[in-house]
């Protein structure tokens, strides 16, 4: 299933824009309860005004709240970002630590955020259990756990550590583009034959194609969907 998803999304990547670990850490914190697209609209002005941890720590609260307001829950996010900057300066010399045990002690940072930063800013493998990832791995039958930490442990045991970051990307891409929460496009899914949840969504290939949130490459669509013929051995 991972190989099929990798073939479908070979370009899968973190969809938050960033240039350094601090920018990714802040962007990931801001992404809670909003979209990556919205965060990417906000962060250029944010990082131009507050380029480092010290600047974030000393930010004018009202000005920072105004910048973050489009992302929702802006007061809580302002608190987290300012406290994050202060703790980075006080405890880590203003730098983002490349260790999970340190990252999760920072304001607004849980294992999901820490793994995003480790995998994408430091090239240290990690599994990102967001809502898409959790939903899909349960649909796939990889685990029946609901707790994100238990999901991370269960799925991590199924794959080589070196694959964890890209695994996270392709599963999340699939969740955003094909295997939607309310109406998955089962008839346009590259893992339909292997998925125990095949049939919970639209199985007609033409109708399913209309549900996709991206366009297939011509070679992949010529069949039009070579994998989408129902469950069974591949």
* Residues contacting 208, CB < 8 A, separation 6+: 185, 186, 187, 188, 189, 201, 202, 225, 228
Which position among 7, 17, 69, 112 bears the catalytic label? 112
| Residue 210: active-site member | no
Q: Do residues 127 and 168 make contact, with C-beta atoms less than 8 angstroms apart?
A: yes
> Around 217, how many Cα atoms within 13 Å sit in the side-chain half-sphere?
7
Hunting for tokens 């006080």 — which residue is that? 90
Q: Name the residue among 155, 77, 163, 142 with its Cα closest to residue 113.
A: 77
Radius of gyration over every alpha carbon of the chain, rounded to an integer in angstroms: 19
**What count of other Cβ atoms lies within 10 Å of the Cβ of residue 213?**
10
| Residue 123: active-site member | no
Hunting for tokens 């969809």 — which residue is that? 15
DSSP states of 150-216 as a string?
HHHHHHHTTS-GGGHHHHHHHHHHHHHHTS-SSS--GGG-TTGGG-TTTTSS---HHHHHTT-SS--
Which position among 130, 147, 150, 163 bears the catalytic label? 130
Q: Give the catalytic positions in this structure.
A: 112, 130
């Amino acid at each position: 299933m991972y190989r099929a998803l990798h073939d479908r999304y070979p370009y899968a990547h973190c969809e938050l824009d960033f240039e350094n670990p601090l920018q990714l850490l802040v962007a990931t914190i801001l992404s809670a309860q909003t979209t990556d697209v919205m965060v990417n609209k906000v962060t250029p002005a944010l990082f131009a005004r507050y380029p480092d941890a010290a600047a974030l720590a000393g930010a004018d609260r009202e000005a920072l709240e105004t910048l973050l307001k489009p992302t929702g829950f802006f007061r809580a996010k302002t608190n987290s970002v300012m406290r994050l900057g202060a703790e980075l300066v006080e405890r880590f010399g203003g730098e983002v630590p490349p260790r999970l045990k340190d990252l999760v002690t920072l304001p607004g940072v849980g294992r999901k955020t820490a793994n995003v930063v480790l995998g994408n800013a430091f090239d240290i493998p990690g599994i990102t259990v967001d809502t898409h990832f959790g939903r899909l791995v349960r649909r796939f039958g990889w685990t029946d756990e609901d707790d994100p930490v238990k999901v991370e442990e269960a799925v991590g045991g199924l794959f080589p550590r070196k694959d964890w970051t890209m695994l996270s990307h392709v599963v999340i891409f699939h969740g955003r583009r094909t295997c939607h929460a309310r109406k998955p496009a089962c008839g346009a899914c590259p893992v339909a034959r292997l998925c125990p949840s095949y049939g919970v969504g639209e199985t007609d290939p033409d109708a399913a194609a209309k549900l996709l949130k991206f366009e297939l490459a011509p070679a992949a669509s010529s069949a039009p969907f070579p994998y989408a013929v129902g469950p069974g051995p591949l």
